[in-house]
Amino acid sequence: MSAATAELRECVGAEGVLEDAESLAFYSQDVYRSGQSAVAVVRPDDRDELCRVVATASRLGLAVHVRGGGMSYTDAYLPAGERAIVLDLSRLDRVLEVSAEDLYAVVEPACTWAALDAALEPHGLRSVFWGPMSGKVATVGGSMSQGAVTFGSGRNGSSATAALGFEVVLGDGRVMRTGTDGQPGHLPFFRPYGPDLTGLFTGDAGALGIKTAIALQLEPRPACGDGLSFAFADFDALRRAVAEVSRRGLATEVFGAEAALVALMTGEQTLAQGLGGLWAAGRAQSNPWRGLRQMLRIARHGRSFLGEARYTASFLTEAPDGTRLRLALDDLRDAVGDLGLEIPNTMAAVTRAMPFPEPMLLGPEGRRLLPLHGIVPHSQVAGLHAAFSDWLASRQAELAAHDVLVFLVYATCGRSGFLYEPVIYWRDSWPELHRQMMPADMLARWSEPPDAPEARALVERVRTELVELFYRHGAAHLQIGRSYPWSRARDPAALALFDTVKQALDPAGCINPGALMAGGGAADAQR
């Protein structure tokens, strides 16, 4: 392998290849677990260097696993074999173009959502999907490959809806463009021109090529925004309220959690964090007096309502002016009706004021965490929740014995999708990824738990069982990686087409081999 890494250094320079044990360990793990250690980490400076790296890796028979912000928990970029490199794209992070007139922007793949939003703010613009809450570190390229939801998802759906076109490096080093700018002198302003090749590369788990430029649909930044929060006595009332709001397209974002989890999480806030969120929420209001009232309201009510509610949800909305915003909020109240009790909009206000907080890869008291999710239509939510509740009751004694907690959070994706997300928390030693990405002041407050192999093994069984539960209830998934069963029992013609496309774009099969193929049987595992 020394000869192989020598060739890679010729592609990107000596400083662009990392081979020390610490770097290999760090880049070969994600939020959930570690993969096999990579042979090298390669960090190209631009597209041309990346093309040379991919062509060299293909010729040498090296698998190429592409890492963006490092926030995956589904083995999306973890090496799975002995002859593998991790491609770190963090140096390709520029905003390349902003067209305020034609409402598009072009960015490199490692541009974070927070950086993009900051670059667009002076233009009075934003992307129609403008990031997940992890957008301070989550990248545009990673979200396009894996899928993401939150900001803009209530009305517009997942991150894929913002994509106009891609520049992609293929498995042999060739470059292709999927948008209208794939023709000389054309601009990347329009997606549905002929077969949707852009859509082919959204949600592909990075299996079909490496995105080096992303064109995004923009929209004017709304002048006003606010949100309402509600408490719900039971899950049926919650899901009915969320369905009504979603179907009517009233909210730009919808998200919530079990009240017990909210109380546990907010109990971990430091005074400085609480004051910071309070001040930011006040500054986000349209005038100083309204800001002061908002700060007093948050300070007065805080978390007092959580002892009475089992579930909470926040609904955010926006409008061109204050009058229409008040009408929009009234429409939200009307849609929720008597299903929920309106409570101080603490969560909604802080989220609007601080959309991209520091990444929290550890939960309360320094616990490890693993989120799982499924997206189902509103008609299937009740059945999924009943099955999950039965499963949780059957596992409760074993979970308690190992101090493993499972809480529910939820959101929406477009008008018809309910994102149902159990989050698992357990005490275990911290991976290096968590040490480097978690805020230092948070780590300083906790004592690292001892290594907990039995709890970790239980979490893995829980993960497998919940993925199966989601499959039985017809769930779709984002961030498929190698964990969710996209290929299982899928139409043979569709899989044959995928194989043909994969062979055409990546002849040596070196780009993220095995992605999209979890749980599909022996034939799929070979893809």
Lowest model confidence (mean pLDDT) among 218-222, 258-262, 423-427: 258-262
Beta strand residue intervals within 110-235, DSSP E: 125-127, 163-169, 175-177, 210-220, 224-232
Residue with tokens 């960090």: 43
Q: Does the pLDDT of residue 448 top 50, yes or no?
A: yes
- Residue 188 is predicted with a pLDDT of 97
pLDDT over 90, % of the chain: 81
User: What is the rounded CA–CA span in Å between residue 89 and residue 41?
Assistant: 10
pLDDT for 80 equals 87
pLDDT at 345: 84
Structure confidence by residue, pLDDT tens digits, 484-516: 999 999 999 999 999 999 999 999 999 999 999
pLDDT band at 295 (very low <50, low <70, confident <90, very high): low
Is residue 451 classed exposed, middle or buried when 0-12, 13-18 and 19+ CB atoms within 10 A define those classes?
A: exposed
pLDDT of residue 270: 44
What is the SS3 string spanning 277-314? HHHHHHHCCCCHHHHHHHHHHHHHHCCHHHHCCCEEEE
The pLDDT score that the predictor gives to residue 523 is 39
What would the two tokens of residue 436 be? Answer: 């480097």
Of residues 458 and 436, more confidence is placed in 458
Q: Average pLDDT for residues 301-307, to the nearest whole number?
A: 51
The pLDDT tens digits for 364-396 are: 899 999 999 999 999 999 999 999 999 999 999
pLDDT at 524: 46
Query: Residue 375: beta bridge partners?
Result: 419, 476
DSSP string, 6-24: HHHHHHH-GGGEE-SHHHH
Structure tokens at 78: 């973890």
pLDDT of residue 275: 45
pLDDT score for 519: 56
- Least confident residue range of 135-144, 147-156, 274-283: 274-283
Q: H-helix or E-strand containing 47?
A: helix 47-60
Residue 281 has pLDDT above 80, yes or no: no
Does position 149 have pLDDT exceeding 50, yes or no? yes
User: SS3 for 66-113, per residue?
Assistant: EECCCCCCCCCCCCCCCCEEEEECCCCCCEEEEECCCCEEEECCCCEH
Give me the mean pLDDT over the 111-119 stretch.
98
162-167 average pLDDT score: 98
Residue 525: pLDDT band (50, 70, 90) is very low
Q: Is the pLDDT of residue 138 over 90?
A: yes
What band does 272 get if pLDDT is binned at 50, 70 and 90?
Answer: very low
Distance CA 154, CA 198 (A): 22
Tell me the mean pLDDT in the region 330-356.
90
Q: What is the pLDDT of residue 481?
A: 94
Q: Give the pLDDT score at 283.
A: 53
Pairing of strands 63-67, 84-88: parallel
Report whether 250 contacts 317 (CB < 8 A). yes
Q: Which of residues 519 and 172 earns the better pLDDT score?
A: 172
CA 94 to chain centre: 20
Convert the pLDDT of each residue in 10-46 to its tens digit.
999 999 999 999 999 999 999 999 989 999 999 999 9
Q: Is the pLDDT of residue 297 over 70?
A: no
Among 211-215, 246-250, 355-359, 412-416, which stretch is predicted with the lowest mean pLDDT? 355-359
- Tell me: pLDDT of 307 over 70: no
Query: Which has more confidence, 19 or 286?
Result: 19
pLDDT recorded at residue 350: 86
- The rounded mean pLDDT for the chain is 91
Torsion angles phi and psi, residue 164, rounded to 5: -100, -35
C-beta atoms surrounding 34 within 10 Å: 15
Contact 120, 97 (CB under 8 A): no
Is there a contact between 485 and 150 (Cβ–Cβ < 8 Å)?
no
- Residues 206-223: what's their mean pLDDT? 97
Q: What are phi and psi of 409, to 5 degrees?
A: -125, 165
The pLDDT tens digits for 40-78 are 999 999 999 999 999 999 999 999 999 999 999 999 999
| Range in 106-115, 125-134, 185-194, 342-351 the model is least confident about | 342-351
More confident residue, 303 or 319: 319
Question: From CA 376, how far away is CA 233, in angstroms rounded?
Answer: 22
- Percentage of the chain modeled with pLDDT above 70: 90
Instruction: Name the least confident of 41-45, 224-228, 437-441.
Output: 437-441
Residue 518 has pLDDT above 90, yes or no: no
For residue 496, the Cα-to-chain-centroid distance in whole angstroms is: 29
